[in-house]
Structures are given as C-alpha cells and as structure tokens.
Amino acid sequence: MFKFLKGMTSNSLAAVGGSMMKLHFPNPSRSFDEIHNQVIFWGYDRAMEVSFFLEIAALKKLCPEMNNAESEFLKAFDTARERIYAAADNVYRRGGGGKGTYAYVLAADDFEGCFRG
C-alpha cells in the first residue's frame, strides 16, 4: 500500500523554534488515483510536503450530486476544496502534526458536521 514518510519529531520542531502551524495548500494540483479510488492532493508544513488521499466515499457525501467519473470527482474536489483543506489540517494535527508521518487518508468520518443536507 502506501509508505509513510519519516519526518521531524515534535522535539526537533521545537528545537528550531517552531510550533505546530496550520498547513498551507499553495499547490492547487490534485489527481485521481483510479486504482485506490481516491483523489490525491498535497499540503505543506513549512518545507515538508504532506500527501493526502481523499476517499471517494467522503467526496460523494460532500458533493452528492456528482457522477462516478474522474472529471466529476475532480470538479467536486474543487467545489469542496476549502472544507477538504480544513479536514486535512484537522487530520494532520490529530495525527501528531507530522510526528513521523507525512501521508494521510481522509475518510467520510473526517468531515463530521461538514456534510450538506
């Protein structure tokens, strides 16, 4: 499956004078992974790249009107981008803010309270 990348610990982060910052998403790129049925996108914690894998089941709950086509998945991602980024930031923080892991899967449960309807 996916390898998790090892990164800085909270102690080494504190040693460089940092505290946990909100993730940044300067790269609007996203792509659909047909094999894993996920939309992949990236965020950044300072210079560290963090990969996110958004399950289509979660995307369908965010945008129930979308069809089952790659172009629709990417369009739905763009429509819900701010909610997805907020959930990604929450998952990243819950996961330790990069304490050794720089790849996260976003599932429907990660969007609790964010669904329309």
Maximum C-alpha span of the chain: 48
The confidence score (pLDDT) of residue 113 equals 64
Q: Is 105 helix (H, G, I), strand (E, B) or coil?
A: strand
Q: Is residue 80 part of a domain?
A: yes
User: What is the mean predicted confidence (pLDDT) over 4-31?
Assistant: 60
Q: Is residue 99 part of a domain?
A: yes
Q: Is residue 5 part of a domain?
A: no
Q: Which residues pair with 44 in a beta bridge?
A: 24, 49
**CATH code for the domain of 46:** 3.30.160.140
Split into its structural domains, the chain has a count of 1
Q: Is residue 34 part of a domain?
A: yes
Say yes or no to pLDDT of 26 above 60.
yes
Q: Is residue 47 part of a domain?
A: yes
Domain range for 86 is 10-14+26-111
| Dist CA 24 CA 12 (whole Å) | 20
CA distances from residue 53 to 10, 19, 31 in whole angstroms, order as listed: 24, 25, 10
- Cβ-proximal residues to 15 (8 Å cutoff; 6+ apart), any chain: none
Which carries the bigger pLDDT value, residue 88 or residue 47? 88
Q: Is residue 97 part of a domain?
A: yes
Residue 66 corresponds to which tokens in the numbers above?
């979308």
User: What is the mean predicted confidence (pLDDT) over 49-62?
Assistant: 95
pLDDT band at 8 (very low <50, low <70, confident <90, very high): very low
